[in-house]
Amino acid sequence: MSKGLNEIQLIGNLGRDPEIKTTQSGKKLAKFSLGVNGYRDETTWVNVVAWEKKADLVEKNLAKGSKVYISGRLQQNNYERKDGTKAHRFSVVARNIIFLDGKKGDNYKEEEEF
């Protein structure tokens, strides 16, 4: 069986300040929504997750309105709603983050294969 490809690249603006959390196991996590303009200037909102070093950089450098390039992988999260029905949501797990405004030189780019 051949390997598939799960790679996404986006440029957009943060719709809100990043939410910074620490998991029970002590890993730092940053979550934010990214507004991406596309066809006819319609905005698509994408949830983005950044871990560890990337979360630190997001916390220090990004805020609502910041323009950023993100590349990473698409991840599906399954959950159960309060009414008991099953649902899912998608998010992008960031691998590379390039700040397109604000501080320069703090970008995080990871060279890895997955």
pLDDT digits (tens, 9 = 90+) for 35-75: 999 888 899 999 999 999 999 999 999 999 999 999 999 99
Residue 16 resides in a domain: yes
C-beta of residue 77 within 8 angstroms of C-beta of residue 69: no
pLDDT exceeding 70 applies to what percent of the chain? 88
Q: What is the CA radius of gyration of the chain?
A: 15
Instruction: Give the dihedral of Cα atoms 46, 51, 54, 57; nearest 10 deg.
Output: 90
**pTM assigned to the model:** 0.81
By residue range, what is the domain housing residue 57?
8-99
User: How far is residue 80's CA from residue 22's CA, in Å, rounded to a whole number?
Assistant: 23
CATH number of the domain to which 89 belongs: 2.40.50.140
Q: Which tokens is 5 given?
A: 């490809």
Residue 88 resides in a domain: yes
- The tally of domains found in the chain comes to 1
Mean pLDDT of 86-99: 94
Residue 1 resides in a domain: no
Task: Give me the pLDDT at residue 55, please.
Answer: 95
The larger pLDDT score, comparing residue 104 to residue 89, is at 89
